[in-house]
Structure 1
Amino acid sequence: MQITPVKMADLPQIMAIEKAGFSDAEAGSTAAYQERIEKLGSTFLVARNEAVVLGFIVGPATKERYIQDEMFVTTPTNLERGGHQLVFTLAVSPLARHQRVGSQLLAALETDARAHQRTSMALTCLERLVPFYEGNGFTNQGVAESTHAGETWYNLEKVW
């Protein structure tokens, strides 16, 4: 497995993984992912086995400590240095789950974030995923303000 920056050619496989991992209300649209590939290329990583996408992680580097719902509507532009690395999505193909692909993607994005002098990495997740992120060094900061997809989300953060 290799972890590489995203390519626009990855979009069909990314969308298949997105639809397999999230409800229709939670999932990002094809247009949203096109914008993310264009604007967040340096913080959009793909795990692949040759041409097959196994999973991906994407999010902006911003001044904001936590994700805000409006960021899902209009993708922020990455800060060059500093700020906080946010994670909009971490998703793994159903065929590659339980193989530590998600943990490796988190580690790769953290390495990049540290190299760009970010002070933390944060994401929102559903309650059932909190133990996974805690196992990857994140701390549960409680219920997020997000109302995305009508779900209850939790802020998870890793500070270094």
Structure 2
Amino acid sequence: MEITNVMPEDLPEILRIENLGFTAEEAGTEEQYRDRINKLSDTFLVARVDEKVVGFIVGPATKEAYVEDWMYEKTPNNLATGGHQIVFTIAVDPKYRGNSIGSKLLGALEKNARIAKRESISLTSLERNVPFYLKNGFENEGVADSEHADEVWYNLVKKLDGNL
């Protein structure tokens, strides 16, 4: 498996994986993903097996410490350094789950975040996925102030101490 930055031609596979892992209300649209590829290419990573996209992680580096609903509609530009690494989405093709791809994507994003001197990585998660993030060093900071897809989301945060 190889983890690389996203390329525009990855869009069809990204959308396929997104729609396998999320409900229509939760999933990002083609337009949103085009915008994310354009604006977030340095914080949009894909996992490839035999050159095929099997998973991805994406989100902006912002001054905001938590994911905010408006960010899904208007992708923020990345801060060059500092701030917080937000994760909009982490998704793995169901055929490849159970191979630590999600954890490896989180690790690669964390490495990049540390190099860019981010203070934390944060995301929102449905309750059923919270144990995965806890296993990967995140802390559950409680229910998020989010109405995304009319579901209950939890703020998960991993503080970064600046060490590589």
Read off the aligned partner of 2:23 and give its amino acid letter: S
Q: Structure 1 CA distance, aligned partners of 2:87 and 2:44? A: 9
Read off the aligned partner of 2:119 and give its amino acid letter: T
CA shift at 1:49, angstroms? Answer: 1.2
* Identity in percent: 57
- In structure 2, the residue matched to 1:61 is 61
Q: Structure 2 CA distance, aligned partners of 1:117 and 1:81? A: 6
- In structure 2, the residue matched to 1:158 is 158
Q: Structure 2 CA distance, aligned partners of 1:62 and 1:118? A: 9
- In structure 2, the residue matched to 1:4 is 4
Matched, 1:13 2:13: yes
- In structure 2, the residue matched to 1:48 is 48
CA shift at 1:51, angstroms? Answer: 2.4
The within-5 A match list for 1:103-142 is: 103-142=103-142
SS in 1 for 2:18: helix
Read off the aligned partner of 1:23 and give its amino acid letter: T
Read off the aligned partner of 1:4 and give its amino acid letter: T
SS in 2 for 1:134: helix
The within-5 A match list for 1:14-29 is: 14-29=14-29
- In structure 1, the residue matched to 2:70 is 70
CA shift at 1:11, angstroms? Answer: 0.3
CA shift at 1:154, angstroms? Answer: 0.2
CA shift at 1:128, angstroms? Answer: 0.3
Q: Structure 1 CA distance, aligned partners of 2:38 and 2:49? A: 23
Q: Structure 1 CA distance, aligned partners of 2:86 and 2:31? A: 20
Q: Structure 1 CA distance, aligned partners of 2:158 and 2:31? A: 29
Q: Structure 2 CA distance, aligned partners of 1:44 and 1:17? A: 14
| Moved segments of 4+, more than 3 Å | none
Q: Structure 1 CA distance, aligned partners of 2:58 and 2:50? A: 20
Q: Structure 2 CA distance, aligned partners of 1:15 and 1:115? A: 29
- In structure 1, the residue matched to 2:37 is 37
* Length-normalised TM-score, structure 1: 0.99
Q: Structure 1 CA distance, aligned partners of 2:26 and 2:142? A: 20
Runs of 5+ consecutive residues of structure 2 not aligned to the other structure: none
Matched, 1:90 2:73: no
Name the Cα RMSD after superposition: 0.4
Q: Structure 1 CA distance, aligned partners of 2:144 and 2:134? A: 16
Paired residues in the alignment total 160
* Length-normalised TM-score, structure 2: 0.97
- In structure 1, the residue matched to 2:100 is 100
Q: Structure 2 CA distance, aligned partners of 1:56 and 1:47? A: 6
